[in-house]
Chain A
Amino acid sequence: MKEKTYVDDIDRSIYDFRYENKDAYSIKSGLTPDIVEEISERKNDPEWMREFRLKALDIYNEMGIPNWGPPIDGLNMDDIVTYVKPNTKMSATWDEVPEDIKETFERLGIPQAERESLAGVGAQFDSELVYHNVRKEVEDQGVVYTDLESAMHGPYEEMIKEHFMKLITPRDHKFAALHGAVWSGGSFVYVPPGVSVEIPLQSYFRLNAPGAGQFEHTLIIVDEGADLHFIEGCSAPKYNIANLHAGAVELFVGKNAKMRYSTIENWSKNMYNLNTKRAIVEEGGKIEWVSGSFGSHTSYLYPMSVLQGKGARSEFTGVTFAGKGQNLDTGCKVVHNAPDTSSYVNTRSISKGGGISTFRSSVVVNKKAVNSKSSVSCESLMLDSESRSDTIPAMDIKTKDVDIGHEAKIGRISDEAVFYLMSRGLSENDARALIVSGFADTVSKELPLEYAVEMNNLIRLEMKGSIG
């Protein structure tokens, strides 16, 4: 048997640039109540938030590390500097952003993206929002798009208090508790009833300080009959010591409202990405997840949809690319809690160079959820014989009157297809990249054009290497 040509890992240096962390405020390693109090004070938390953080810390100390997924032994919490405040305040205009931070953002293409069709940019540098700009027409529609910290002190404090970590509680798992204790930065979006936000809102997260964890919190409330598309994109510079990302995304989709949440996560390859995302959907509402997972050393990522109201729907479209040294455990969860609800899951995973990609899904249909539908389909592509791909679908169906489907496929790139494309003049590299892009096409066509282009470029970069 002829072995597959080994495709070398990409040169990630274009993503892995970083700047020296100057006089930014940084707390000492390890996690104690004193540290949490200190964070709370720095953030100027209201009293209820301070108490919340301390309770979450207790829960964090009680709970054990999850033992069912990829190993996270490389992660030593005592080494994680949980909070690094960049030496800049929130900025409304690009001009006010300090030069070195600006350059980092420029290399990530943020101002260009903003200049084009994007409504607002809340880009996060370390644990703080440094750049924030919401286009006037969106504000005029009554849409609130701001950072969570300042919103807590404004007219939306009650709303935040009512929703913050109610969907993802600190009891969910150890890293949710950690998040509750040390969360910092992130976005708050409120779309009033009936408002349809025409252009997607975008946020761009990025880690910088060595050893810093990132614990941003995204809280989005889409009120009755409203419509929103939110895009989150990530890229992080590379460091030698373990990096942790334990963010939380809570989405509240109201009656007959619609929300689409798109993400491309592209973490550097030493990152432990233990992110939690959850949406609750009321009657007639719909949540659409579009998720591209690249990079990171280890990922645990399973966006969850709770279909709470009659006729609520969820759609999940995801692609995961695991290269050398990566163990990406991704998938999604759906809970059907009401009649006539439907969920549709469609994922693609790619593994290469010994990478491990695991698709994990959980569909729960509760007793009340009669006449519900669920369809789960996952396809995996392994680019060589050392890579691994697993599928772990779980279903818990508690009522009879349901329509459930599951389909899984695992395959390899066919030599015949490569030969066919090469016979028209494409190089072997291009032919393989084309086949992989085509495989991921179901996701990229769900993304706005510039993101689809970015994702295809990522695939191309991941595929690039020394082919003999």
Chain B
Amino acid sequence: MQSKLLEVKNLTVNVEDKEILHGVDLDINSGETHVIMGPNGAGKSTLGFALMGNPRYDKTGGSILFDGEDITDFTTDKVAKKGMFLSFQNPIEVPGITLSNFIRSALEERTGERIKLWDFKKELKKVMQSLDMDATYAERDLNVGFSGGEKKKAEILQLLMLKPKLAILDETDSGLDVDAVRTVSEGIRIYKEEVKGALIIITHSTKILEALSVDKTHVLVDGRMVKEGDSSLVTEINENGFESFM
């Protein structure tokens, strides 16, 4: 039997005093893969940011239960430590810390323990290989001067190293060429297989979903969940667009 991992109840979210989400519900069990689709401006990214506790996204109502705890008012770092991960659409460049050191500090923050450098480097190298990432990226400053594709790979690398219980992938496939999409998909497959974590995939397109078995599809329009279905809903939207939901 699967246990409930995430329970979002009637969540309303304001951004700069304007309500963007008008009462969203979302239930996810451990290890499930959910897809959230919707037209531009529907509030998909807002939902991701709000779940992750971004202070700009003001939760004015409802609640978020994650892994048995009410995290509605948690700060972002606490949400992260509890096992949630958000892959950014536009990862930020941070000079002064290498990708490798950043992942290690993040891991140490999570576990509260010092991590043995040797073991860490070994695992990092292995994961980078599986993502077809040049090993030199580990010693480069976090995202600084990375191409769009390398930034997304670096996000997936962090996902695989940090091993969260729930990963939210926000348009991870956007702007990538075919090869990069394949690599990112492979990363997601490894996450499902080895970490056995749950996934929320926020996307416009369906390319990234081809290799995955989707448990549920949600359609978000104008800040409301308007439709819920299985993976066949993805195909339907792919063929007919969102018009029938608007």
- Let me know if B96 and A424 touch, CB within 8 A: no
Docked-complex contact A426 and B77, CB < 8 angstroms = yes
Q: Is A6 an interface residue (CB 8 A)?
A: no
Contact of A425 among B54, B77, B94 (CB under 8 A): B77
Tell yes or no: A396 within 8 A of B by CB.
no
B32 to chain A, nearest CB (A): 21
A425 surroundings in chain B (CB, below 8 A): 77, 80-81, 106, 109-110, 162
List, in ascending order, chain B residues with CB within 8 A of A434's CB: 94, 96-97
**Given contacts A415-B56, A438-B97, A424 and B158 within 8 Å (CB-CB):** yes
Judge if B85 is at the interface, Cβ distance under 8 Å: yes
Complex contact B77–A422 (CB within 8 A): yes
B92→A428 contact, CB < 8 A: no
* Main SS at interface, chain A: helix
Whether, in the assembled complex, B25 has its beta carbon less than 8 Å from a beta carbon of chain A, the answer is: no
Contact of A421 with B52 in the complex, beta carbons under 8 Å = no
Contacts of B65 in A (CB 8 A): none
A303 → chain B closest CB, angstroms? 24
Chain B 72-100: CB-based contact to A (< 8 A → 1; otherwise 0): 00011101110001101001101111000
Complex Cα distance, B94 from A420, in Å, reads 10
Shortest C-beta distance, A40 to chain B (Å), equals: 49
B76 lies within 8 A of A423 (CB): yes
Q: Are B92 and A417 in contact (CB under 8 A)?
A: yes
CB atoms of B94 and A422 under 8 A apart: no
Given A424-B106, A426-B106, A426-B109, A419:B76 Cβ within 8 A: yes
Chain A residue contacts of B55, Cβ below 8 A: 2, 415, 419
Interface size band for A: 20 to 34
**What chain B residues lie within 8 Å of A439 (beta carbons)?**
95-96
Which of A395-451 touch B at CB < 8 Å? 414-417, 419-428, 430-431, 434-435, 437-441
* Given A2-B55, A423-B52, also A438-B95 (CB < 8 A): yes
CB distance from B142 to the nearest CB of A (A): 8
Q: Are B141 and A438 in contact (CB under 8 A)?
A: yes
Residues on B with beta carbons closer than 8 Å to the beta carbon of A435: 94, 96
Determine the chain A residues whose CB is within 8 A of the CB of B102 once the complex forms.
424
The answer to whether B94 and A421 have CB atoms under 8 Å apart is yes
Nearest-Cβ distance from residue B93 to partner chain A, whole angstroms: 8
CB contacts (< 8 Å) of B141 on chain A: these are 438, 441
Contacts A423-B52, A423-B85, A423-B86 given; indicate if A428 touches B94 (C-beta within 8 A): no
Asked if B105 is at the interface of the complex by the 8 Å CB criterion, the answer is: yes
Give Cα distance in the complex from A239 to B120, angstroms: 47
Total A-B residue contacts, Cβ distance less than 8 Å: 75
In the complex, chain B residues 145-187 whose Cβ is within 8 Å of any chain A Cβ:
158, 162
Residues of B within 8 A of A441 (CB): 95-96, 141
Pairwise interchain contact A423-B80, C-beta atoms closer than 8 A:
yes
Interface centre among A419, A426, A430, A439 (most CB of B within 10 A): A419
Determine whether the beta carbon of A420 is less than 8 Å from that of B91.
Answer: yes
Query: A438, B109: Cβ atoms under 8 Å?
Result: no
Q: Which listed residue, A414, A415, A428, A440, touches B77 by the CB 8 Å rule?
A: A428
Number of interface residues of B (CB under 8 A): 28
Contact assessment for B96 and A419 in the assembled complex, using a CB-CB cutoff below 8 Å: no
Q: How far is the CA of A434 from the CA of B97 in the complex (A)?
A: 8
Q: A426-B77, A426-B105, A427-B77 given as contacts; is B54 within 8 A of A419 (CB)?
A: yes
Hey, what's the 0/1 contact readout for B39-79 against A, CB within 8 Å counting as 1? 00000000001001011100000000000000000011101
- A415 to B76 alpha-carbon distance, docked (Å): 12
Chain A residues positioned under 8 Å from B88 (CB to CB): 420, 423
User: What chain A residues lie within 8 Å of B79 (beta carbons)?
Assistant: 423
Q: Taking CB as reference atom, which chain B residue is nearest A467? A: B75
CB distance from A67 to the nearest CB of B (A): 38
Is there an interface contact between B80 and A438, defined as CB atoms closer than 8 Å?
Answer: no
Min CB–CB distance B17 → chain A (angstroms):
11
B96 touches A437 (CB 8 A): yes
CB contact between A422 and one of B80, B105, B158 (< 8 Å): that residue: B80
Q: How far is the CA of A416 from the CA of B91 in the complex (A)?
A: 10
Q: Measured between C-beta atoms, what is the minimum distance from B58 to chain A in Å?
A: 10
Closest B residue by C-beta to A438: B96
**A446 CB to closest chain B CB, in angstroms?**
13
**Of all chain B residues, which has the CB nearest A417?**
B92
Residue of B nearest to A440 (CB): B96
A145 to B105, CA, bound (A): 42
Contact in complex: A428, B75 (CB < 8 Å): yes
**Which residues on the B side are within 8 Å of A421 (C-beta)?**
92, 94
In the bound assembly, the distance between CA atoms of A412 and B141 in angstroms comes to 20
**Closest CB-CB distance, A455 to chain B, in whole Å?**
12
Across-interface contacts of A423 in B (CB, < 8 A)? 52, 76-77, 79-80, 85-86, 88
Residues of chain B having any CB pair with chain A under 8 Å: 49, 52, 54-56, 75-77, 79-81, 85-86, 88, 91-92, 94-97, 102, 105-106, 109-110, 141, 158, 162
Can you give 22 A-B contacts (C-beta < 8 A)? A2-B55, A415-B55, A415-B56, A419-B52, A419-B76, A420-B92, A421-B92, A423-B76, A423-B77, A423-B85, A424-B80, A424-B158, A424-B162, A425-B109, A430-B109, A434-B97, A437-B97, A438-B95, A438-B96, A438-B97, A441-B95, A441-B141
Q: Which 8 A-B pairs have the closest CB atoms?
A: A438-B96, A441-B96, A422-B76, A425-B109, A424-B106, A425-B80, A420-B92, A438-B95
* Extra inter-chain contacts (11) besides given A423-B76, A430-B109, A441-B95, CB under 8 Å: A2-B55, A419-B49, A419-B56, A419-B76, A420-B91, A423-B80, A423-B88, A424-B102, A425-B77, A425-B106, A435-B94
